[in-house]
């Protein structure tokens, strides 16, 4: 989704690997690579004088370690990292947190849910898909060839790309004020993409560190997973958009977890809500006949879904279907192969 000229970035390009761009006095923007379709993550360094606060960290890999070594002696000028703040628990944001904690004795600041999820998922190593995960895939109507392949493979584990996180953290809560980088930052919690997702709003100079809650040209994945198959994260997402939109101003410079920093936040918040309301409307029209979650892909996504994106597409399709079901608009029943069939009530 493109905001045209209403959403604008002051920068045409991201900083090169191992380098940094100063987005405001004492605030550095850095970028680390990811081995996936979304091939990068943004991190931010806040100058504390004799040390740095780092917001998000990238994944743990040999390449990330080498880049972090370059960052530490280059943009961070050899000064230690004294604190790591996590916006949310996903591996591209938490992967190097434990490494930085061990290296410098840095403290970890996170919401309680983010810390618990990160610790649990890093420790939960699975060599084969669980029965619950396989049942979830069948319930979604997963393509049989993709299902058979995934059934036989070792599943993705957080521990593959996340350093262990030591015990002990500082809890960040909604409504708090955090002092970092010479600024006071108001904490406003998001949700939907990840529970208790932290966003930080500077009182001094209109900066917003948004993580994945607010992205400029893509919408973050809103997904339902085997851990909580009846969840309605889209309701959490829409509620968070309404809460955060109340704080949005055109003067804000948003520092997102992916893509480029941007202005035009009020318009973008409306786009993010409209994106999902439009998807729900398309589903309402499509579900006059019974469909599986996988059959809803063409209605929800404006790109080809292949093996690399299939899992994210499936969890997002289920999220939209669950939302309509919780609202009482659609019903479902099992097909012989265990897939749920979904249909609008009254059809």
Contacts with 160 (C-beta within 8 Å, 6 or more apart), sequence order = none
Whole-prediction pTM:
0.95
Q: Give the separation between CA 313 and CA 111, rounded to whole angstroms.
A: 27
Q: Give the separation between CA 55 and CA 52, rounded to whole angstroms.
A: 10
Ordered by start, the domain boundaries in the chain are 21-126+157-284
State whether residue 344 is helix, strand or coil. strand
- Residue 266, Cβ density class (10 Å: 0-12 exposed, 13-18 middle, ≥19 buried): middle
pLDDT at 268 over 90: yes
- What number is the average pLDDT over the span 55-60? 98
Q: Give the separation between CA 84 and CA 68, rounded to whole angstroms.
A: 14
Residue 4 — pLDDT band, cuts 50, 70, 90? very low
Superfamily of domain 21-126+157-284: Ribonuclease Z/Hydroxyacylglutathione hydrolase-like (3.60.15.10)
Token pair 């809500």 is found at: 273
The predicted structure's pLDDT at residue 5: 53
- What number is the average pLDDT over the span 83-87? 98
């Amino acid at each position: 989704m493109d905001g045209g000229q209403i959403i604008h970035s002051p920068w045409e390009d991201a900083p090169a690997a191992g380098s940094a761009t100063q987005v405001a006095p004492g605030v550095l923007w850095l970028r680390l690579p990811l081995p996936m379709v979304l091939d990068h993550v943004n991190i931010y360094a806040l100058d504390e004088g004799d040390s740095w606060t780092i917001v998000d960290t990238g994944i743990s890999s040999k390449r990330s370690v080498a880049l972090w070594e370059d960052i530490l002696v280059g943009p961070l000028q050899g000064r230690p990292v004294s604190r790591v703040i996590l916006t949310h628990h996903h591996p591209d944001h938490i992967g190097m947190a434990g490494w930085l904690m061990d290296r410098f004795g840095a403290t970890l600041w996170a919401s309680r849910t983010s810390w618990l999820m990160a610790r649990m998922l890093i420790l939960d190593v699975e060599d084969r898909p669980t029965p619950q995960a396989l049942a979830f895939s069948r319930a979604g109507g997963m393509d049989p060839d993709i299902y058979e392949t995934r059934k036989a493979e070792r599943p993705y584990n957080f521990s593959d790309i996340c350093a262990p996180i030591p015990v002990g953290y500082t809890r960040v809560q909604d409504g708090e004020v955090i002092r970092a980088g010479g600024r006071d930052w108001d904490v406003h919690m998001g949700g939907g993409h990840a529970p208790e997702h932290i966003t930080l709003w500077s009182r001094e100079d209109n900066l917003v560190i948004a993580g994945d809650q607010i992205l400029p040209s893509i919408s973050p994945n809103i997904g339902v997973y085997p851990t909580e198959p009846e969840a309605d994260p889209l309701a959490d997402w829409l509620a968070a958009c309404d809460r955060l939109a109340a704080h949005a101003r055109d003067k804000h410079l948003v520092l997102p977890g992916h893509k480029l920093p941007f202005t035009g936040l009020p318009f973008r918040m409306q786009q993010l809500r409209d994106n999902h309301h439009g998807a729900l409307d398309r589903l309402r029209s499509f579900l006059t006949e019974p469909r599986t979650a996988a059959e809803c892909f063409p209605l929800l996504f404006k790109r080809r879904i292949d093996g690399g994106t299939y899992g994210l597409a499936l969890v997002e399709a289920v999220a939209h279907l669950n939302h309509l079901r919780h609202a009482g608009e659609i019903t479902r029943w099992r097909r012989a192969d265990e897939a749920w069939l979904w249909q609008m009530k009254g059809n």
